[in-house]
Amino acid sequence: MPTPYNHKAIEKKWRTRWKEHPVNVQEDERGKHEKYYCLDMFPYPSGNGLHVGHWRGYVISDVWSRYKLLQGYYIIHPMGWDAFGLPAENYAIKMGVHPAKSTAENVNNIKRQINEIAALYDWDREVNTTDPNFYKWTQWIFVKMFKAGLAYEKEFPINWCPSCKTGLANEEVVNGKCERCGTEVTKKNLRQWMLKITQYAERLLNDLDKLDWPEKVKKMQTDWIGKSYGAEVDFPVDGRKEKITVYTTRPDTLYGATFMVLAPEHALAKELATDETREAVEKYIYDASMKSNVDRLQDKEKTGVFTGSYAINPMNGAKVPIWLSDYVLADYGTGAIMCVPAHDDRDFAFATKFHIPIIQVIAKDGKEIENMTEAYTEASGTMINSGEWNGMESAVLKKEAPIMIEEKGIGRKTVNYKLRDWVFSRQRYWGEPIPIVHCPDCGAVPVPEDQLPLTLPDVDSYEPTGTGESPLAAIDSWVNTICPVCGKPAKRETNTMPQWAGSSWYFLRYVDPHNNEELVSREKADAMLPVDMYIGGVEHAVLHLLYSRFYTKFLSDIGVIDFDEPFIKLFNQGMITGKNGIKMSKSKGNVVSPDDLVRDYGCDSLRMYELFVGPPELDAEWDDRGIDGVYRFLNKLWNLVMDNKEKDIKASKEMLKLRNKMVYDITTRLESFSLNTVISGFMEYNNKFIDLAKKEGGIDKETLSTIAVLLAPFAPHMGEELWEELGHEGSVFHAGWPTYDEEAMKDDEIEVAVQINGKTRAVVTIFAEAGKEEAIAAGKEAIKDKLTGNIVKEIYVPGRIINIVMK
Ligand code: ANZ
Ligand code: ZN
């Protein structure tokens, strides 16, 4: 009896062996191999540890890294900690421990758990965003951006989370709620540090074409950047010297503009009020300022107030009333719109409610609609009620109108982006201090680069104050400093950076993590960057994944690196959920920890089961019981190799065919990331090998070795052990990925006689394995002009005769 599969002993043995003899190409050999950088989105060290859902992503990236290693690449596969920011700080506050202490503990725990995955991580490259040697460079980038005019201060009403007690970026507000805690976001007027990401809008949009990313993510970024083409049109205010400029994507509808609406925050909003309307106007402006964004954007009953003033439609001289309404956003376009109720849903609702005239200017079939019950929003039809534009095709006019308006001197062609500058300051403790000193004479002055890092001071009270100031503001000894320019007393900036600051560039640091002189040496950056494959969840589509593209472009512009897209290929894995698709969470009590499964079944079984649960890009429900099947399969495969390894057998033609087909199937499925079908493929082939071994008395060694190599990225311990049992020296990961021979894969062809009523009429060539249906079809095709009567019977004597019986 051969030794049974003992996962505990095998896994322990290979962990030790890998520690002594790492399998990745070593640093001194690096230049001789092409690099492959496979990156996981680094975790924030949550106190809950990892569940089986986290494992999935890490297993996928490790399988991919090991596959690339087997192809001969030098693998960069690092891991680190996204440890600053709200999640870590909120957890610390809840537990009543200092965030520095709780993050350190959590890092240790998660690191232990990650090691259970047996991934190829290179811990010499480990980074932690809260390490001063790391955030020195996070601050350095900020200083560089400040010097380049990309970081600036601005006071304005920002998104404010009353529970996290901090300002938030637009990207952190999801359906009007705080991305972190789910609390409804309100507005607060605060002085903010902003990053001018809008300066990169066009490049961020265009360069999406370069990326091998899921279309879904590209679309989300495209929509978020939100480029739209249209025109600005100037409407003179009746009886005043001011003009109000509106932004419209539909200048073709100008003749149908029957009123105008300004955002309540518009600079002219108050001034346009008359004695009769002043009270109502001021109340409306005040009420709007108290409303949260959700309330304002939700498509419920429109509200508004007439200012008492009129504007002149510059196209036809018509006098149109100017209203205020909060459905117009202050910070998009010009904060003012011309309203065309006949062709815009929101305008239609507003006009109906406030009894404002509706003028149709586009007619689908040339006829005016008598009783409009809803807006006609398509840009197709003929222009009516539109003076000189009458009779034109609206689609044509839509394109030409901006130019015609420009020629008339009443407006200009413009482009607008939805993307806003990035609100970059947080009124919280646990983040990188913003390296700025406020001097009464010199203004905002950056901390000199050679004085970085500006370390986060230790505090007793790190809870958010809620006043709009960070807890750092209470530490006089830290706040009071001298101006680096003039030496006079000055005060430090007390806001900190958002949690996205470190993650926007961490992937660059992994290739040169101990460099004290530079963020990354150009030599190492050129040799090992950018990231070839990035694996993580889709929830970061417009946050981290947009911010890192922006940072990379900036660092490329200032010459730190010479590429401007960080991640060539992106793969988003689906979520592992509990029963009925419910997200795993501690509060729901449905979290499955990998720890027990590793103990009972071993790391290799859990790795394979993580992939077996379903297509990696889709969500999957977790069911512990399924791991049994994978475990049984690994036992069967183990026994297959152990039973046959001593036999001195030459591969038959059939064995060669099966071996090559297996290499082909596993490789192509792996290449297309169909990892669940790789696992089911292993199971099917295993059974086929068992059957064939029975028939032929055993399996040749090369076939067994091929199985071991193919298995290695998925079940690395067993792959190594089988490789060794088969008598090979060195690691299986140096064996090279097996290739397949298409000739050997081909099924044999045979010649078969085709008969009609027992008389041979033709000979056809078919595959030896062809089934009855396939054979008969080929036979009938060969004698089709002779099939004149009624077929009563079709017979296939496998490998010999096809006989069609006719009447
Ligand atoms: C007249 C018009 C007629 C419009 C029509 C639409 C249809 P996107 O594609 O999102 O850029 N708009 C402009 N600025 C706005 C603001 N600050 N708040 C709310 N709405 C605003 O949409 C641009 C259109 O949204 C503009 O074109 C404007 O309404 C409105 F049949 O102008 B339109
Ligand atoms: Zn100064």
Q: For residue 487, report the distance from its CA to the centre of ligand 2, in Å.
A: 6
Give, for ligand 1, the residue of 297, 331, 337, 346 to mutate: max count of ligand atoms closer than 8 Å to Cβ. 337
- Ligand lying nearest the CA atom of residue 437: 2
Residue at 774: amino acid letter: E
Cβ 447 vs Cβ 435: under 8 Å: yes
Enumerate residues 6+ apart whose C-beta is below 8 A from 94. Answer: none
Per this entry, what is the length of the chain?
Answer: 807
Distance between CA atoms of residues 546 and 503, nearest Å: 11
**pLDDT, tens digit (0-9, with 9 covering 90-100), for 88-109:** 788 888 888 889 999 999 999 9
Q: 201 or 748: which carries more pLDDT confidence? A: 201
User: Known binder of ligand: residue 586?
Assistant: yes
Q: For residue 412, report the distance from its CA to the centre of ligand 1, in Å.
A: 15
Domains and CATH numbers, the chain: 228-416 (3.90.740.10), 624-744 (1.10.730.10), 747-806 (3.10.20.590)
Residue with CA closest to ligand 1 atom 33: 248
**CA atoms 179, 183, 188, 191: torsion sign:** negative
Q: What is the pLDDT of residue 72?
A: 95
Q: For residue 261, report the distance from its CA to the centre of ligand 1, in Å.
A: 11
Percent of the chain topping pLDDT 70? 99
Residue with CA closest to ligand 1 atom 27: 248
Cβ 654 vs Cβ 692: under 8 Å: yes
Q: For residue 498, report the distance from its CA to the centre of ligand 2, in Å.
A: 27
**pLDDT, tens digit (0-9, with 9 covering 90-100), for 408-464:** 999 999 999 999 999 999 888 999 999 999 999 999 999 999 999 999 998 877 887
* Ligand 1 atom nearest to 416, measured from its CA: 11
| Burial (Cβ within 10 Å: 0-12, 13-18, ≥19) of residue 783 | middle
Cβ 182 vs Cβ 216: under 8 Å: no
Q: Where does ligand 1 bind, in terms of residues with CB under 6 Å?
A: 228, 247-250, 253, 328-329, 332-333, 335, 337-338, 340, 343-344, 416
Residue with CA closest to ligand 1 atom 22: 249
| Burial (Cβ within 10 Å: 0-12, 13-18, ≥19) of residue 162 | middle
Distance between CA atoms of residues 489 and 597, nearest Å: 60
**pLDDT, tens digit (0-9, with 9 covering 90-100), for 527-577:** 999 999 999 988 788 889 999 999 999 999 999 999 999 999 999 999 999
Q: For residue 438, report the distance from its CA to the centre of ligand 2, in Å.
A: 8
Q: 169 or 120: which carries more pLDDT confidence? A: 120
At 76, the pLDDT band (50, 70, 90 cuts) reads very high
Q: For residue 481, report the distance from its CA to the centre of ligand 2, in Å.
A: 11
Residue with CA closest to ligand 1 atom 31: 343
Q: What angle do CA 329, 331, 335 make, to 5 degrees?
A: 60
- Ligand lying nearest the CA atom of residue 345: 1
Please list, residue by residue across 335-350, b when 16 or more beta carbons sit within 10 angstroms of its beta carbon and e when fewer do: bbbbbbbbbbebbbbb
Q: For residue 435, report the distance from its CA to the centre of ligand 2, in Å.
A: 15
Give, for ligand 1, the residue of 249, 326, 343 to mutate: max count of ligand atoms closer than 8 Å to Cβ. 249
Query: Which residues are paired to 491 by β-bridges?
Result: 438, 480
Asked whether the predicted pLDDT for residue 87 surpasses 80, the reply is no
Q: How far apart are the first and last CA of the chain?
A: 62
Give, for ligand 1, the residue of 235, 244, 250, 266 to mutate: max count of ligand atoms closer than 8 Å to Cβ. 250
Q: What is the pLDDT of residue 771?
A: 86
**Helices marked H in 388-448 — which ranges?**
394-408
* Ligand 1 atom nearest to 343, measured from its CA: 31
> What average pLDDT does range 234-241 have in this prediction?
95
SS3 call for 302? coil
Which residue is associated with the tokens 């190829």? 120
Asked whether the predicted pLDDT for residue 292 surpasses 70, the reply is no
Please list, residue by residue across 211-235, b when 16 or more beta carbons sit within 10 angstroms of its beta carbon and e when fewer do: bebbeebbebbeebbeeeebbbbbb
